[in-house]
Amino acid sequence: MGACCRNGWADAPEYADGSAFKNLIHQHTNPGGVVKDTAIQKVLMNSISDGVMRELLQREGGIELCYDIVNEFYWAVRDAFASDWDGHKPRTSRLVHGAGIVAMGQVMETLAYFENARTRDKFLVGLQSLQAKTAWTSGEWDFGNGDKRTWKAIQNFSGDISLLTEYLVREVKAAQRERLWEDQGGGLTTEASEVVE
């Protein structure tokens, strides 16, 4: 299943019209790009290995479905965090940094799995819960248990990526539980609560 990345599908977001990443992916054919191609490849491979794309690739037109969900999600990211994305480079925003791109890929998985998000608008609903809890370009991250770090302290290391991923997913799941509670009039069932644990 990883062949779709090895055979060049990972380049599709760079060239396709309407892509959230058009002209933004840094590679030898586009040295001015700001998002590392290796970060995009990591998102794809994680999802193909053990995420929503693994399921989508079993369907007719699976590769196109995979491209669509990535594109819809990162357009929603651009909508939710426009001031942290537009005009930025990795050194000025951790959102377009390798750590941010990969970590947000797991947020995509969470929203796709627990809320069946597939469209830009549906993803945006889930992402809005993160808007006041991120420090992509300024301020500090509060990861809990006294672990606070300035925005630019996050680096493209596995430990930092894992820490950021766990934080973002935890916050998204907390917001999901709150929405479930509200949808059920304050009476969240045990089954519904367990869905987003």
- CB-based contacts of 112, cutoff 8 Å, min separation 6: 51, 52, 69, 73, 118
Residue 112 within any structural domain of the chain: yes
pLDDT at 1: 40
Residue 132 within any structural domain of the chain: no
Q: How many helices (H) and strands (E) does the chain have?
A: 10, 4
| CA nearest neighbour of 2 among 53, 52, 65 | 53
- Total domain count, the chain: 1
Residue 14 within any structural domain of the chain: yes
- CB-based contacts of 107, cutoff 8 Å, min separation 6: 126, 127, 130, 168, 169, 172
- The ranges of the chain with pLDDT < 50 are 1-3, 6-9, 188-193, 195
Residue 63 within any structural domain of the chain: yes
| CA nearest neighbour of 43 among 66, 14, 76 | 66
Q: Which domain holds residue 109?
A: 3-126+137-195
Q: Which two tokens stand for residue 128?
A: 């809005």
Tell me the C-alpha distance between 11 and 118, whole Å: 21
Residue 131 within any structural domain of the chain: no
Tell me the C-alpha distance between 18 and 192, whole Å: 36
Residue 8 within any structural domain of the chain: yes
Burial state string for 35-63 with b = 16 or more CB within 10 A and e = fewer than 16: bbbebbbbbbbbbbeebbbeebbeeeebb
pLDDT in tens, 4-17: 554 444 555 555 67
Specify whether the CB–CB gap between 34 and 89 falls below 8 A.
yes
Query: How many residues make up the chain in this entry?
Result: 197
pLDDT at 12: 56
pLDDT at 181: 77
